[in-house]
């Protein structure tokens, strides 16, 4: 992932603003990102300065199918995702995307992350407005232009909150084998690669 870090370090030259906007009008904004098991995605973004809340859930598909059992059948069209509420005066959407592409998951994987495979584990961004859609597209174009086989797609569709036992799973179960093997390294990488964004 170090090559992705180097590519995104040059993002300014491509016209991508990675700084938080001091003139943001709303107190908070929302991002919806999918990148494998939502436990790990949630664990990473909970440690980002300016993030107020992270919710695990399912993006895309229909509400009647938004349950773990149905989504796991890989026939509903949902992706495991997180809804991130953030303060744009402290962290920008572009900065969240940088963390998403370099720390939270591997954007080169097609319908899988780590030990999990299937369409529900795909890499996908669900923009919440036109500005987010445009910025996400620029990130993907830049990374692909640098020769990276980026699998991330820009999609649309609603977000549905996952069952209560999935919320804050990594924080509540830090010794769970899945968390220790797959997600703790991501959190450690965030702290190491982006100390300026880290919060305990």
Could you tell me whether strands 153-154 and 51-59 are parallel, antiparallel, or unpaired per DSSP bridges?
unpaired
Domains of the chain, by residue range, sit at: 2-193
pLDDT at res. 23 = 40
pLDDT at res. 66 = 95
Q: From 199, 200, 198, 189, select the one nearest 5 (Cα to Cα).
A: 189
Is the backbone of residue 156 left (phi > 0), alpha (psi -120 to 50) or beta? Answer: beta
Is residue 80 a contact partner of residue 120, using CB atoms and an 8 Å limit?
yes
pLDDT at res. 13 = 40
pLDDT tens per residue, range 83-110: 999 999 999 999 999 999 999 999 999 9
Low-confidence ranges of the chain (pLDDT < 50): 10, 12-14, 21-24
Positive or negative torsion for Cα 194, 196, 198, 200: positive
Catalytic residue among 32, 34, 37, 103: 37
**Which CATH architecture describes the domain 2-193?**
2-Layer Sandwich (3.30)
pLDDT at res. 12 = 47
pLDDT at res. 14 = 46
Residue 139: Cβ-neighbour burial (10 angstroms; 0-12, 13-18, 19+): buried
Contacts of 125 (CB under 8 A, 6+ apart): 32, 33, 34, 97, 100, 132, 136, 152, 153, 154, 155
> 30 forms bridges with which residues in the sheet?
85
pLDDT at res. 8 = 59
Active site residue 37: yes
pTM listed for this prediction? 0.90
């Amino acid at each position: 992932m170090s090559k992705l870090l180097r590519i995104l370090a040059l993002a300014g030259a491509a016209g991508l603003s990675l700084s938080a906007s001091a003139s943001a009008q709303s107190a908070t904004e929302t991002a919806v990102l999918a990148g494998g098991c939502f436990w790990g995605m949630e664990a990473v973004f909970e440690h980002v300065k300016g993030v107020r809340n992270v919710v695990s859930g399912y993006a895309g598909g229909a509400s009647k199918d938004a349950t773990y059992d149905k989504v796991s059948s890989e026939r509903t069209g949902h992706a495991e995702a997180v809804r991130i509420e953030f303060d744009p005066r402290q962290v920008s959407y572009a900065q969240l995307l940088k963390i998403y592409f370099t720390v939270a998951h591997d954007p080169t994987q097609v319908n899988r992350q780590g030990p999990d495979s299937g369409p529900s584990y795909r890499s996908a961004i669900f923009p919440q407005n036109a500005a987010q859609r445009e910025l996400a597209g620029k990130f993907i174009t830049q990374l692909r232009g640098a020769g990276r086989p980026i699998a991330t797609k820009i999609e649309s569709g609603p977000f549905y909150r996952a069952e209560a036992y999935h919320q804050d799973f990594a924080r509540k179960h830090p010794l769970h084998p899945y968390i220790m093997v797959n997600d703790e390294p991501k959190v450690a990488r965030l702290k190491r690669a982006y100390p300026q964004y880290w919060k305990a």
